Structure 1
């Protein structure tokens, strides 16, 4: 261990005192020298005690310095960690500021989008209403009510534009699904001037037939194509289709497993109002 300058000085003084003691030991028998020797010994002891105290202070100071140094290293590591953390937080803050700017820009564009999408939805609802009117007349009350609800919804201010658009698209999706499903439902149909309870069978949009509850009457919806647009009428069917229609009704009601069925396919016929100009 390296000694401090004060410790070295104390050691030199101690050695000098010891040499002086040994040098004068030969004259110890001389009474006049005893007093001088005692003074030298006392001085050496005081010097040694002072050196010990000085060394203790040096040791205490050294321990304090080591403690402070360790604390300094710990604080330095904390500062380094905080610097890295601040850099990460700054990066996140910059990213959030960029995102806020994008959101603000999007909010400015919302009003423009709303002004454009509202007329679009109005046109979509009008087109859907015309389509339902010209389509095969299955579930007329349900489909008409759906269109009426959409028109009423467009006048409400408590419904968000996004929700309005979702409902319009949903109505279109329901109409699309009609074209690839089979369905059986009950209803009332005027037949020869009388309202009769019948069972309707819809197969996509290619076939819509009915059968009275007693099975005595069968009919199909037949489209009529004319210059003024698409219309149609109910046409009586032969009893030859009765078994096929009954089987299809049970399949549509999930009372039978899917199987081949024999049903008429609605075909277009020329109406009497057709223009005399031949089609090219």
Structure 2
């Protein structure tokens, strides 16, 4: 009877020992597998990280590529525009060189013209009534001196010549009074001159005792009677802005 009671215990113990031995053997097999799987997972995670990094890098490079393409397209358009501008500038340079050549020809032609204009102006002054003789003669002399100067441009020379012509033209539309010396009855005296355009040139002594008019035909001064004294004095005051403009009764030479 004792033997029958102890038998299941022995069998159970043997079974447990056998089971433990099987579990131990299983653990021996599973551990390398788990370890290998863990390494595979770690490797896969690392590979995924690398893949993610490569993906980001590729996307970044693709974005840069697109940006560069846009910049390249913009540069193509810009370079095309620059080429047009350069072609236009080259054409402008060619036109400018042509104009420079033409200006050189014009300069060679205009210089003799200006010299003839100055000679004509001098002749005109010599034939005109003799008002402001020193001032007008000096203006012509200055023009002749200017034409010999190399430091004055052709355009400035032409401007000065035209300016002198303009001054002479303005004399014909103005009334002027100025002082000067004149030989009256063999004696040099200080007088006041009155110019009315280019029509009349008169003088009156400072004491208003004598007055005269320039005769264009004889090119001489002729004395006026005392009846013109008031009118000449009035004209002098008008020219000096000392009285308002008014009618004057003055002798005018009639040219046949």
- TM-score normalised by the chain length of structure 2: 0.81
The corresponding residue for 1:262 is 248
**Which of the residues 84, 90, 93 maps onto 2:83?**
90
Higher percent of residues as helix: 2
Runs (5+) with no aligned partner, structure 2: 1-18
Q: Is the 8 A contact 1:222 1:267 kept in 2?
A: yes
Q: Is the 8 A contact 2:199 2:252 kept in 1?
A: yes
**Which of the residues 228, 238, 247 maps onto 2:225?**
238
Residue 142 of structure 2 corresponds to residue 149 of structure 1: yes
Give the greater-gyration-radius structure (CA): 2
Distance, in Å, in 1 between the alignment partners of 2:246 and 2:72 is 80
The corresponding residue for 1:198 is 191
The structural deviation recorded for 1:47 is 2.0
The corresponding residue for 1:250 is 237
The structural deviation recorded for 1:161 is 2.7
Distance, in Å, in 2 between the alignment partners of 1:162 and 1:186 is 36
Distance, in Å, in 2 between the alignment partners of 1:148 and 1:186 is 22
Distance, in Å, in 1 between the alignment partners of 2:110 and 2:35 is 109
The corresponding residue for 2:118 is 125
The structural deviation recorded for 1:157 is 4.1
Q: Is the 8 A contact 2:231 2:250 kept in 1?
A: no
The corresponding residue for 2:128 is 135
The structural deviation recorded for 1:28 is 10
**Which of the residues 97, 102, 115 maps onto 2:108?**
115
Runs (5+) with no aligned partner, structure 1: 1-26, 225-230, 271-280
Deviates more, 1:242-251 or 1:142-151: 242-251
Deviation track 1:219-241 (CA, whole Å, cap 9, x = no partner) reads: 222322xxxxxx53323233343
Deviates more, 1:109-118 or 1:199-208: 109-118
Q: Is the 8 A contact 1:220 1:264 kept in 2?
A: no
Distance, in Å, in 1 between the alignment partners of 2:31 and 2:236 is 135
Deviation track 1:81-127 (CA, whole Å, cap 9, x = no partner) reads: 33333233323322221221122112222332222212212221121
| Cα 1:76–1:29 shift into 2, 3 Å | farther
Deviates more, 1:41-50 or 1:212-221: 41-50
The structural deviation recorded for 1:265 is 5.2
Q: What is the DSSP-based 3-state SS (H/G/I as helix, E as strand, rest coil) of the residue aligned with 1:138?
A: coil
| Cα 1:129–1:67 shift into 2, 3 Å | same
